[in-house]
């Protein structure tokens, strides 16, 4: 009875909301206190979505950064090519399959920020490619913006203590801010130069630590390589992005474990990937949660988490489509598989209660 009531209530919310889409995907209420995702049929990891004209473009992890296109968020999605024609020009990590791309448009130019790394190590780098169109063909790889670990600039603060992956660029007027970071000391941000392809004042960047999890989830590994372990333990925050609505800047991030999960030994629900948020009047923070706790001190309001067959949602972004903000993310479906490549694209429109986003 409770599930039926939640389902009817959810449908009422959805139909009272203005959707700018051609059609809605399957969307059902799930146990766990969160609405189920709109199902899109797209297998993708770490999605980045933009809308250009009447088409949606999704960029994700894959050889040379995969590009998908669809007339609707609900699909049908078709892979139309890749951003890069070959490996990144950055000679580091797995440069044939850059991670966690973020694509933004500024003026008549599209910027694709990406990361290369060795999994579990902070010997990483962030690069950028640009194009005059969102689809494949015409992308120019400009290579390195910042790096941590080995190489030039890796000893400059905060790159000496962070992991330069999971890039996101937020453009506020004519100012760009690069937000990045995974585990170790959490999420950081540095301003970009006007070209959006380099850091402003690279030897002394105006760096801000925006998110940190003070309580380690478990040990930080025992690798003999100091770049591949964290003696303070494992601090699972990553994948941060920024959105803006009604005078507030919202910082979204993923918290907990994701990827290659063992269905017979899942972490506790609170330790699985979930999507959290804080807000600020400035794109540079500080960001606080609904209780006023700074995200650097372990704050963070959970907006979306595992529910029903939906496991470990994260790798999120926010797309403003018309008057509606849409939270999108990848998630695992326990009925289909919990491996890295089993990740699916899901989304939920957002409503705002007293200035705080709620997935519907």
Buried/exposed code over 114-132 (b: 16+ C-beta within 10 A; e: otherwise): bbbbeeebbbbbbbbbbbe
Catalytic-role residue among 166, 213, 238, 294: 238
Parallel, antiparallel or unpaired: strands 168-172 and 140-147: unpaired
270 belongs to the catalytic site = no
Q: Which two tokens stand for residue 352?
A: 């705002």
Nearest Cα to Cα of residue 141 among 113, 103, 177: 113
**Torsion sign, CA atoms 55, 58, 59, 64:** negative
Q: 2 CB contacts (<8 Å, ≥6 apart)?
A: none
Strand partners, 128: 113, 143
Catalytic-role residue among 46, 213, 289, 325: 46
238 belongs to the catalytic site = yes
Question: Other CB atoms closer than 10 Å to residue 12's CB: what's the count?
Answer: 10
CA distance 208 to 282: 12
Tokens 């500024």 correspond to: 106
**Catalytic machinery residues:** 46, 238
């Amino acid at each position: 009875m409770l599930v039926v009531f939640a389902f009817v209530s959810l449908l009422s919310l959805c139909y009272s909301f203005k959707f700018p889409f051609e059609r809605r995907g399957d969307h059902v209420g799930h146990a766990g206190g969160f609405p189920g995702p709109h199902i899109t049929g797209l297998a993708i990891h770490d999605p980045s979505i933009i809308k250009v004209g009447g088409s949606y473009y999704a960029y994700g992890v894959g050889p040379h950064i995969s590009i998908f296109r669809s007339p609707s968020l609900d699909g049908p999605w078709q892979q139309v090519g890749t951003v890069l024609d070959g490996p990144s020009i950055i000679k580091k990590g797995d440069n044939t399959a850059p991670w966690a791309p973020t694509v933004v448009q500024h003026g008549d130019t599209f910027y694709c920020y990406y990361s290369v790394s060795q999994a579990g190590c902070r010997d990483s780098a962030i690069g950028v490619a640009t194009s005059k169109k969102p689809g494949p063909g015409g992308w120019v790889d400009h290579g390195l913006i910042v790096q941590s670990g080995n190489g030039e600039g890796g000893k400059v603060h905060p790159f000496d203590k962070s992991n330069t992956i999971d890039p996101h660029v937020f453009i506020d007027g004519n100012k760009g801010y690069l937000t990045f970071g995974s585990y170790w000391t959490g999420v950081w941000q540095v301003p970009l130069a006007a070209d959006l392809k380099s850091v402003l004042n690279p030897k002394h960047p105006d760096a801000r630590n925006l998110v940190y999890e003070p309580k380690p989830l478990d040990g930080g590994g025992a690798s003999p390589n100091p770049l591949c372990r964290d003696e303070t333990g494992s601090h699972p925050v990553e994948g941060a992005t920024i959105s803006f609505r009604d005078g507030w800047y919202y910082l979204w991030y993923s918290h907990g474990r994701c990827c290659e999960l063992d269905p017979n030994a899942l972490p506790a629900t609170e330790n699985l990937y979930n999507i959290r948020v804080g807000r600020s009047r400035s794109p540079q923070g500080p960001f606080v949660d609904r209780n006023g706790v700074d995200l650097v001190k372990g704050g963070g309001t959970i907006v979306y988490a595992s529910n029903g067959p939906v496991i470990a949602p994260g790798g999120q972004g926010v797309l403003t489509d018309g008057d509606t903000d849409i939270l999108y993310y990848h998630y695992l479906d326990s009925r289909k598989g919990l491996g890295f490549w089993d990740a699916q694209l899901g989304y939920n429109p957002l409503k705002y209660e007293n200035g705080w986003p709620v997935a519907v």
